[in-house]
Structure 1
Amino acid sequence: MAFVNEFVPEDDVKNYNLDKIWDSYHPNFKGSKPIGFRHSWTVDRERNVFLIWQSSGREEFSNRHTFVLWWKGELLTVILDVCDESFYKLSDNIGKTVWSLFEIEKPDGLGLRDKEIIPVLKEALSVYGYRGAQRQLSDFKVEFKF
């Protein structure tokens, strides 16, 4: 099975404790969610891997995005930058995101090397596309500078 974008079923929200993950990346919400919020992810159920967008930066870091990647039973924080070559023309349903890797934060003692993680991350981001389960563009490309 390959990665797919989907809204997370309630059983998986509980099994993976996604509300707790949300709270840890969004402390200003203090246990609540924005109106109309639904957990969504890019998931490969066969490999038990998922990617969830968490936030984007502000002001001079507005191109910086934070994702969580669940892989081999561990939650990794992945920080990526959107490069200048990226573009979006929503009215024409086209666009391109060029990602640059800023950092992968791993739990202490986890013996994973970035070279093990990066191919899976690229695969997930390619399927994530424009905005995962939230919105896709029919003519959209994803490229990497890492």
Structure 2
Amino acid sequence: MTFINEVITEETKGEFDFSRLTDPISGHPIAPRKRWTIDRDRNAVLIIIGGGTPEIPEFYALIWKGDIIKFSAISKVSSSPETGRIISWDIFDIDIPIPLQSKQEDICQLIREAIDAKGWLYDRDCLRNVIINIQLPTTH
């Protein structure tokens, strides 16, 4: 299976533990979300956890096999009759837990696939192309 966008229902919201997620700005637990981008076969889900104003990037959590990988993202949508609608993503400040440091390439690939599937406003079909630039995390 691949990543797909879904509405989070009462039946599906228990599939992942969101209790450890906090808004990076306020530090408060995140409010319930309505949508996610999920790959059940790989036990991975992408969810926005905050931000998203013109001055503040969007903050995401990728929950993969129970581990939380957080990152920041800025997107820009452009459109023209020649190119169609394109979204460009800059992904940065990737926070990979220490036990997963050796899986950096796999994690970056998961982020790339999840963001591509998320598309624009949880709609990939409205886009002709998704461009994703990932600033690799620094290792500690």
Instruction: Bin the TM-score by the shorter chain.
Output: 0.7 to 0.9
Distance 1:40 1:21, change over 3 A: farther
Gaps of 5+ in 2: 135-140
| Aligned residue in 1 for 2:48 | 53
If the length of structure 1 is used for normalisation, what is the TM-score?
0.70
The equivalent position to 2:39 in structure 1, one of 41, 44, 63, is: 44
| Aligned residue in 2 for 1:121 | 111
**8 A contact 1:95–1:137 mirrored in 2:** no
Distance 1:145 1:12, change over 3 A: same
How far is the alpha carbon of 1:88 from its aligned partner?
Answer: 4.8
How far is the alpha carbon of 1:114 from its aligned partner?
Answer: 2.3
The equivalent position to 1:25 in structure 2, one of 23, 26, 31, is: 23
**8 A contact 1:88–1:95 mirrored in 2:** yes
| Aligned residue in 2 for 1:103 | 93
- Counterpart of 2:97, as a letter, is P
How far is the alpha carbon of 1:45 from its aligned partner?
Answer: 0.9
| Identity of matched residues, % | 22
| Aligned residue in 2 for 1:72 | 65
Q: Pick the structure with more strand per residue.
A: 2
How far is the alpha carbon of 1:28 from its aligned partner?
Answer: 5.3
Distance 2:108 2:97 in 1: 16
Q: Does 1:4 align with 2:25?
A: no
What count of residue pairs does the alignment treat as equivalent?
130
Task: After superposition, give the CA deviation of every residue in 1:111-141 in whole Å (9 maximum; x if it has no partner).
Answer: 4432121111111111100011xx5662442
Distance 1:53 1:118 in 2: 17
How far is the alpha carbon of 1:11 from its aligned partner?
Answer: 3.5
| Aligned residue in 2 for 1:143 | 131
- Counterpart of 1:106, as a letter, is I
- Counterpart of 1:47, as a letter, is R
Q: Pick the structure with more helix per residue.
A: 1
Distance 1:71 1:54 in 2: 15
How far is the alpha carbon of 1:57 from its aligned partner?
Answer: 4.7
The equivalent position to 1:87 in structure 2, one of 68, 77, 94, is: 77
Gaps of 5+ in 1: none
What RMSD in Å do the two structures reach over aligned CA positions? 2.9
